[in-house]
Amino acid sequence: MRPFTYARATSIDGIHAVQSATGARILAGGTTLYDLMKLGIETPGHLVDVTSIAGLDEIRSHQDELIFGALVTMSDAAAHPAVLQRAPVLAESLSKAASPQLRNMATLAGNLLQRTRCAYFRNGPEYPCNKRMPGSGCAALDGLDRGHALFGGSRSCIAVYPGDWAVALAALDATVDVHGSRGMRTLEVANLHRLPGDTPHLETVLEPDEMILNIRVPVGRLGQASTYHKIRDRESYAFALVSAAVALELDDGMVRQARIALGGVATRPWRVPAAEAALAGQRLDRAAALEAGRVAFADARPGQHNGFKVALGTAAVADALMIAAERSPSR
């Protein structure tokens, strides 16, 4: 592993200056960064550990909003009573991810920035990978693409964004407060990750000197009737083959609003507005739910080995909608 310097931050002041001056990377739980440093894929020369900064590990439940500090652990957020009650899609996206050990370590902001599990990316220089080494090519395009994207891919990269939490956040129109040399700004989680295009090594719109401080989730009429439905190769502790984050506002069985985001099948968290629109004003029954699933996957571009995800994903969206509807206070 490449040697690095290690510094511990006690406040957010000055972190961006250190990042600008040295290219230092922020270290939180370390479950992605340290993992990839062991593989020689991440090679930072400097780390700034932010986990000692006070005040970033709180969850606040306001009337119309849940606010998560960047350093809240996945396990704490997944078990928080207000999160479980007001937005089960969020709690489930966290409790169905990773293992209890990793959930005790990984933070909510770090989780958003986790990197792809594409084996060609992780397994090093014997495989071309435009994300790891820009311009080298993509081994997945003609390779084993069972785990690769049906949405948002390019000729440069079809690596799937692997996270669950960001998918749930995207469904609920969450935002992040970001701090850097330009001061504070707020970004929509749905726009945080870039499409790979010709630059798959650039994964988010964050500047190198920016750090996520808070994650804000509006929870008004939408939230309670929600679920994160995750289909995996095994029952637990695996990345999604396909997942659906769904939130509904129902009025006497009729859909007033639907939100649907897909995980495990796209290069970034993937909202499907056409499927949401198809449900609006409809009575939610199994047939309508399945039709929404079909609309959600209508534009899918499967490769050689991942075509099964069209049928699997269609059913997952439908099942998620029916589960969320069960939780509606006014069915």
Partner 1 sequence: MSEHDPSPHDRSHDLSINRRDVMLVGVAMTGVTLVGFGETTAATPSAPVARPEMNLTIHFQVNGRPIEMSVDPRASLLDVLREQLDLTGAKKGCDHGQCGACTVHVDGRRVASCLTLAAKMEGRAALTIEGLTPADGPLHPMQQAFIDHDALQCGYCTPGQIMAAVACVQEGHASSEAEIREYMSGNICRCGAYVGIVAAIRDAAVTMGG
Residues at the interface with partner 1 (CB under 8 A): 1-15, 17-18, 20-24, 27, 30-31, 34-35, 37-40, 45-49, 51, 75, 98-102, 104-105, 235-237
Q: How far is the CB of 325 from partner 1 (least distance, A)?
A: 24
Q: How far is the CB of 12 from partner 1 (least distance, A)?
A: 7
Which CB atom, from 8 or from 60, has the smaller least distance to partner 1? 8
Which CB atom, from 4 or from 221, has the smaller least distance to partner 1? 4
N- to C-terminal Cα separation, the chain: 56
Tokens of 288: 């309508």
d(CA 56, CA 177) in angstroms, rounded, equals 12
Q: How far is the CB of 39 from partner 1 (least distance, A)?
A: 7
Q: How far is the CB of 211 from partner 1 (least distance, A)?
A: 12
Which CB atom, from 34 or from 202, has the smaller least distance to partner 1? 34
Q: How far is the CB of 24 from partner 1 (least distance, A)?
A: 7
Q: How far is the CB of 132 from partner 1 (least distance, A)?
A: 14
Residue 330 exposed, middle or buried by CB count within 10 Å (0-12, 13-18, 19+): exposed
Q: How far is the CB of 3 from partner 1 (least distance, A)?
A: 5
The amino acid that residue 312 corresponds to is: L
Selection from 267, 275, 271 nearest residue 293 by Cα: 275
CA torsion through residues 44, 45, 51, 56, sign: negative
Which CB atom, from 42 or from 276, has the smaller least distance to partner 1? 42
- Do 104 and 75 touch, CB atoms closer than 8 A? yes
Rg of the chain over all Cα atoms, to the nearest angstrom: 20
- Do 168 and 150 touch, CB atoms closer than 8 A? no
Which CB atom, from 32 or from 267, has the smaller least distance to partner 1? 32
Edge-first strand listing for the sheet containing 254-263 = 226-231, 242-251, 254-263, 270-271
Which CB atom, from 59 or from 290, has the smaller least distance to partner 1? 59
Tokens of 253: 């069985």
Q: How far is the CB of 126 from partner 1 (least distance, A)?
A: 12
b/e map of 223-255 (b: 16 or more CB within 10 Å)? bbbbbbbbbeeeeeeebbbbbbbbbbbbeeeeb
d(CA 331, CA 238) in angstroms, rounded, equals 33
Helix (H, G, I), strand (E, B) or coil at 159: coil
Which CB atom, from 37 or from 278, has the smaller least distance to partner 1? 37
Query: H or E stretch including 300?
Result: none
